[in-house]
Amino acid sequence: MSSVKEEINIDKSYGKESSLNKKEFIDAFNIKETGLDTSEADERINKYGLNEVKSAKPKKWYNYFLTSLFSPFNSILIGIALILFYTDIYLAETPSYANIIVIAILVISSTFLEFFEEYNSNRAAEKLKELVATTTSVIRNGKEIKIPINKVTVGDIVKLSAGSLIPADIRILEAKDLYVGQSSLTGEAEAVKKTVELETNISEVDSISDLNNICFMGTNVISGSAKGAVIKIADNTYFGKVASTLTTDKPKSVFERGIENISKLLIRFMIILIPIVFILNVEKHSTVTAFTFAVAIAICITPLLLPVILSSSLSKGAVRMSKKKTIIKKLDAIQSFGAMNILCTDKTGTLTEDRIVLEKYLDIYGNEDFRVLKHAFLNSYFQTGLRGNIDEAVVDRALKNGMEEYIEKYKLIDEIPFDFSRRRLSVAVTDGVKKQLITKGAVEEILSICTMVDYKGEVSPITKEIKDNILQISKNLNKDGLRVVAVCQKNDIADITDFNVNDEKNMILLGFIGFLDPPKESAKSAIERLNNAGIRVMVLTGDNLEVTKCICKKVGINSDRIVEGKQIEKLNDYALLRILKKSNIFVKLSPIQKARIVRVLHEAGNIVGYMGDGINDAPSLINSDVGVSVDTAVDIAKESADIILLEKDLDVLLDGVTERKKNFCKFNEIYKTFNKF
């Protein structure tokens, strides 16, 4: 059930699109599965507008002007000016415009200074955000291309895979094990399966989460793949209809709360001081003179230029940080970025080169075996989901070993995409003679579905001794810094036409493939510099203990105490916090466990930065004080982040932090100088 109040009639808004079967839907809405051509797309963009939710559209200039004009301090001065108009002009025998003119000049000056700085800084921020604009895959002119999300229009055919952000409301036309995270709309953490046809009668649908053949704008693909037609964009989407109730903004930072509290304190001080000054002077002077003097005191203690100094400092800091390959999506994040005392980061790509190379392909006894490489190649080459570094490394190594012939020899029948709970991926292929289901994944998960082993073409039952030996070989490879993936297959699948997770059983283990992702040369010095800057580095990874320990030792992170995800699963937050104070490395974590660690650190009073670029990093990026991602990250990670690095390197992040500290020091100097007056 949706956690947000349903503000639309589901039947009226989505009844026709969801209740029709695929063929009826295509005919009724004139959907072209080959996609729109360029002229059609342009016509529809002109007709329906850009795919931008009203609340997310850039503000107009007059929005900034009105905000500046009616700031708390200006509002007080405008109120004082109105009172002076009554006392100095209406009541006075000889009207005096001097005080009103002075206040008007101050208000106008403050308004325009703040307006120009705020407007220009936000324009600069929008230009910076365009450098990392989120894109989506659509079919145009019969070809798959990437376009910005705001250029998606009604009738577009969108292709989705793991990590994709849903760009609009979409009716599913094709789906393969598609699971979508809808927590941004419904508050439900569990992924929802999406299919081509509606599985229930539209009259029985109580919530949008029951519409299993519609994907909604703002949600994201957890696993699987799909193709769908855009039925609603921008404000017409469900997200657009209830955007005001679907805020995912982070709580105010310490800096924002501090500025807000200072402003409130000054305003209260003025409200108390003006009557006191007036009462003390009214017996000695006329009412008008006493009140004028009280107003003058109020003017003197009003820090009119504080908002100007702040916005100017932050905007100029954002521009300077962009030159350090650090793009600021939210100006308020600059303070948290420089003030953070804990940086949580993944291992791959941050501490390591993110240049995975396939080093070993071994049978169950640790001997080199080209059959293992062949099966791994078929799995990686023919899978159609989000191809990662491991798949690229497998394909690259196989092609270097002359396995191009298998591309033509084998054909893909079906696949079972990767997801973070199974931690494996399967493809069904055929060479025209027989069908095979080939699966690769984490060693423990692959062992759990294997009942047989294949050694030099001979198949035999898996025994405890064999299983223990396999785990020991894997552990030894991990100690050498290699990430290990197991490969298995299944041949008795001739009668299966539609493959699913239930078919991943009674499989035959073939062997392992080992990958090396060496640590970055700059990582050790960057860690040391971060520590010297007062920033504690914590590693939160889904990888296993041995590989992570090997890498962390090489880059100078204390690896004496490493905690696994299963150890913290049943702990309450207080017990977890005690562990967090003593340990810097956490391994085999689920996305939810990562997000929980970040939340607990934040609630303990730390200013927490989180650096990540994967689908599973999105919850942690949102929970952190400042979310840091990279321009090569998946869509949902970029959307969740506050800051984007143009290189996934701790040195780049450290340069950004250093630049921010310089920027904030300059702001403090200016403000202290201003206070002297």
Q: What DSSP assignment string belongs to 163-227?
A: TPBP-SEEEEEEEEEEEEE-HHHH---S-EEE-SS-SS-GGG--SGGG-TTEE-TT-EEEEEEEE
Is 216 in contact with 183 (CB distance < 8 Å)?
no
Q: What is the pLDDT of residues 398-425, one digit of tens each?
A: 998 889 889 889 998 888 877 666 778 8
CATH number for the domain whose boundaries are 10-56+133-245: 2.70.150.10
Question: Partners of 171 in the beta sheet?
Answer: 214, 229
Q: Going by DSSP bridges, is the β-strand pair 562-564/585-587 parallel, antiparallel, or unpaired?
A: parallel
Total Cβ atoms within 10 A of residue 24: 11
Q: What DSSP assignment string belongs to 270-322?
A: HHHHHHHHHHHHHTTS-HHHHHHHHHHHHHHH--TTHHHHHHHHHHHHHHHHH
Residues 88, 156, 169, 346: which is the catalytic one?
346
pLDDT recorded at residue 123: 64
Q: Percentage of the chain with pLDDT > 70?
A: 73
Q: Going by DSSP bridges, is the β-strand pair 626-630/643-645 parallel, antiparallel, or unpaired?
A: parallel
Residue 543 catalytic?
no
Alpha-carbon span 220 to 205, nearest angstrom: 22
pLDDT at position 3 over 60: no
pLDDT recorded at residue 456: 85
- Please report how many Cα atoms fall inside a 13 Å half-sphere around the Cα of residue 3, on the Cβ side: 11
- Report, at the CATH architecture level, how domain 357-516 is classified: 3-Layer(aba) Sandwich (3.40)
Residue recorded with tokens 């001097």:
98
Integer CA distances (angstroms), 405 to 391, 437, 498, 514, in order: 18, 19, 27, 23
Q: What is the pLDDT of residues 284-338, one digit of tens each?
A: 777 767 776 776 676 666 565 555 566 566 666 666 666 666 667 666 677 777 7
pLDDT at position 247 over 60: no
Q: What is the pLDDT of residues 67-110, one digit of tens each?
A: 777 766 667 677 777 876 876 777 667 787 877 787 787 777 76
Where do the domains of the chain lie? 10-56+133-245, 61-131+251-310, 326-353+522-659, 357-516
pLDDT at position 244 over 50: no
CATH topology of domain 326-353+522-659: Rossmann fold (3.40.50)
Provide the 3-class DSSP secondary structure of residue 59: coil
pTM above 0.75, yes or no: no
Q: What is the pLDDT of residues 557-585, one digit of tens each?
A: 887 888 988 888 888 989 999 999 888 89
pLDDT at position 613 over 70: yes
pLDDT recorded at residue 183: 62
Residue 328 CA to chain centroid, in angstroms?
14
pLDDT recorded at residue 246: 39
pLDDT recorded at residue 336: 76
